[in-house]
Every structure is written in C-alpha cells, then in structure tokens.
C-alpha cells in the first residue's frame, strides 16, 4: 500500500511536469505565433526545416533554405525560401504530374470573378516522344507581336506580318556625316585601296529601333530571310579633271563588321565607274545594291564604300586614275538609303 502511494505520487509528478511543459509550449506558441518543426529558430508562423540544418540563431543561408517550407502570417507559402513574395513562392523546379485518371497535366488561369469562372489552360500534350523545353523570350514584345520558337524550344517575340512590322530605312541629306577624304599623292602608279562606312543622319522609319544612325548599323532581331536595298548618290569634287580620268566606286553590304569596314563578310555589292568631264569640277553618280539574304538574330549590317585602283599618268587618256586629293560626299545634295525588310 505504501508502494502504491509512492508510485501514485511519481505518476502525478510526471503528469504535472508534462502538463507544465505543454502549457509552456502552448504559451510560447501563442506569445510568439511561430511553430518550428526540426528547428528551434522558426522564422515564420509555420517553419519546417526538412534537413534540420538551420542555425539555432540568425538567418539560414540560401543553401539551408532549399529544404525548408514556411507559411507566413499573410498566408504566403514558401518552398525553398523562407521569405516568399507571393501566395506560392518556389525556389527550384516544379513538376505537375498526371491526375488520378492518368490524363496530361495542366495549369489553369481564371478570369476576374466578377466576369465569371472561365479560364485559360496550359496543358501538356497527351503523348510525348521525349522531354521538351520551351524557353521564354528575353526580347521585349511590341504591339502586334506573337510568340515564335525555333527547333530547340527557344522563343522570341516576332511580328505577325514581318514585312510591314520590321521595315526600317535610314537616309542621308547632309553630306558631312559621310565625308571621307582620300589622299594618294596623285603620282603615277599610286594605289588607292580604301574602305569606309557609309554613315547616316536621318531615320525614315524604324519601328523596332534596329538602326544605330550614328554608325549606320542595322542589327537583326530575328533569324529569317531579309530584303536589303541600299544606294548612294553623292557628288565628288576631284582637283584634277583631265581627259580620260575615271575611277571605280563600289558599294558593299557587309555583315558583322565589328567596327572595321574591311572586316566581316561582304554579302552583296555593286560597282560603277565614273568618267571625268573636262571643265566640270563636280562628278555625280549613283550605285545601287539590292537582294535577299538569310540572316541570323544578332547579325549586324553596314553599308561600306570601297575605292580601289591605280593612278595612271597625269596626261594619260586611259587607265584607272584618282586625283591627288579626292573628297567623297562632302557637299550638299548627297543622298543615300539603307532599307532592310524581313520577309
């Protein structure tokens, strides 16, 4: 009987201690409004440390948070992050598996509740031969653009009607932007071999801001077939204008020059030969280039002037000849055009 009383006291003591412990835990939970599982250092209302690797004080680092799940006081759920910024904030990949009937998985987006309960659904195909990825575009969409993809699943925003949406051209009415002086000395046998960029100072139309007017550079936004048209119609004022004096002028469209008019790839060109007329100090000519090419996103295009030839004798009536000082496109009435259209 004495043993029973002693045992009863022990039971009552342990029961009381458990009651006090749970009362303390309940008080702590109510007081601090935080519950931690596998952690003594909860950071939100509910905090589960899956790997039990969080520190006892301070904030867990990003690697330690990767196995955590939290619920904030505002009802936001974080998985892999203890500071969710939305109703559901996941740090890492998300899988949406098939439902209980085995159908392909989907995600639904609903309209405003005031308008009804209709939704837009993103759904996986019912049959896939292999895993596929769709990579969202990095370029900014413009009005009327649609989402396009290549064979690797990378997407970009492109126009519904590229021919009208990507037309861009620039022209020049002030020759000073394209002036270039060529000095070769004017002696017999002197070789002229010079390339220089055709510059522009006025945008005619460029809805997608693909032209850098200061350098005359067009940057391709999307891979495809492009129609290119360029022409120059400058005046030239050589200081020697003898009978039989003439010079060739070549207009090139070069791809990916990288700031060097002789670099990159010459994708199309055209040339003209201008004869001097005695007694006329100004020569007028035009060169036109046009054609279709296949271009890749990120390619750059420039118009380049190319002068190449050898001076003949000063009194010669034959042969290629350049003046000692030849100023290209340095007076008014100079015109140029560079137009690129996606087909």
Picking from 167, 145, 144, 143, the residue whose alpha carbon sits closest to that of residue 156 is 145
Sign of CA dihedral 278, 283, 284, 286: positive
Domain ranges of the chain: 1-90, 132-161, 166-342
Say what the pTM is: 0.53
Which pLDDT score is estimated for 51? 95
Task: Find residue 30's DSSP bridge partners.
Answer: none
Contact present, 280 and 342 (Cβ < 8 Å): no
Look up residue 164 and give its two tokens. 């009208």
Q: How far is CA 155 from CA 147, 218, 222, in A?
A: 6, 22, 10
Q: Phi/psi zone of residue 333: left (φ > 0), alpha (ψ -120 to 50 degrees), beta?
A: left
Task: Determine the Cα–Cα distance for residues 152 and 122; give it in Å rounded to an integer.
Answer: 20
Look up residue 244 and give its two tokens. 């039989």
Averaged in consecutive runs of 10 residues, what is the pLDDT profile of the chain (343 residues)?
49 53 50 83 96 95 96 96 96 89 91 95 91 88 79 79 55 56 66 81 77 86 86 70 65 94 94 68 80 91 85 56 62 75 81
User: For domain 166-342, is the CATH number 2.60.120.40?
Assistant: yes
Residue located via tokens 């071999």: 193
Task: Find residue 171's DSSP bridge partners.
Answer: 202, 337
Which pLDDT score is estimated for 175? 45
Which pLDDT score is estimated for 330? 54
Reported for 40-43, long-range contacts at CB under 8 A and 24+ positions apart, including other chains, are 43/70, 43/82
Which pLDDT score is estimated for 100? 80
* HSE of 313, CA atoms in CB hemisphere, 13 A: 4
Which pLDDT score is estimated for 7? 46
Q: How far is CA 152 from CA 87, 135, 220, 299, 342, in A?
A: 32, 9, 19, 19, 22
Mark out the alpha helices in the chain (DSSP H runs). 2-32, 62-65, 162-165
Task: Determine the Cα–Cα distance for residues 125 and 173; give it in Å rounded to an integer.
Answer: 56
Which pLDDT score is estimated for 46? 96
CB atoms within 10 A of CB 61: 11
Sign of CA dihedral 60, 62, 68, 71: positive
Using DSSP's 3-state secondary structure scheme, residue 325 falls into strand
Which pLDDT score is estimated for 328? 67
Using DSSP's 3-state secondary structure scheme, residue 75 falls into coil
Task: Find residue 271's DSSP bridge partners.
Answer: 250
Task: Determine the Cα–Cα distance for residues 82 and 341; give it in Å rounded to an integer.
Answer: 50
Any idea how long the chain is? 343
Contact present, 335 and 173 (Cβ < 8 Å): yes
């Amino acid at each position: 009987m004495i043993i029973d009383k002693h045992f009863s006291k022990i039971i009552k003591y342990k029961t009381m201690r458990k009651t006090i412990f749970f009362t303390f835990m309940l008080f702590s939970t109510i007081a601090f409004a935080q519950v931690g599982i596998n952690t003594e250092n909860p950071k939100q209302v509910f905090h589960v440390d899956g790997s039990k690797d969080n520190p006892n004080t301070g904030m867990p680092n990003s690697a330690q948070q990767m196995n955590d799940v939290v619920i904030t006081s505002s009802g936001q759920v974080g998985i892999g992050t203890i500071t969710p910024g939305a109703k559901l904030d996941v740090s890492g990949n998300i899988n949406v598996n098939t439902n209980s009937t085995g159908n392909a998985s989907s995600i639904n987006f609903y309209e405003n509740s005031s308008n009804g309960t209709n939704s837009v659904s993103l759904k996986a195909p019912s049959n896939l031969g292999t895993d596929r990825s769709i990579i969202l575009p990095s370029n900014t969409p413009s009005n009327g653009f649609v989402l396009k993809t290549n064979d690797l699943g990378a997407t970009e925003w492109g126009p519904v009607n590229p021919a009208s949406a990507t037309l861009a051209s620039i022209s020049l009415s002030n020759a000073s932007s394209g002036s270039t002086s060529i000095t070769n000395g004017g002696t017999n046998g002197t070789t002229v071999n010079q390339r220089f960029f055709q510059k522009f100072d006025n945008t005619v139309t460029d809805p997608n801001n693909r032209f850098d007017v200061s350098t005359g550079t067009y940057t391709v936004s999307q891979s495809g077939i492009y129609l290119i048209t360029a022409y120059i119609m400058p005046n030239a004022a050589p200081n020697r204008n003898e009978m039989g004096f003439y010079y060739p002028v070549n207009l090139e469209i070069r791809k990916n020059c990288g700031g060097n008019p002789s670099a990159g790839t010459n994708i199309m060109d055209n040339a003209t030969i201008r004869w001097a007329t005695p007694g006329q100090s100004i020569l007028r000519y035009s060169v036109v280039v046009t054609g279709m090419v296949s271009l890749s996103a990120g390619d750059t295009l420039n118009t380049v002037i190319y002068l190449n030839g050898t001076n003949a004798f000063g009194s010669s009536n034959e042969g290629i000849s350049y003046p000692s000082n030849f100023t290209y496109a340095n007076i008014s009435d100079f015109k140029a055009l560079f137009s690129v259209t996606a087909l």
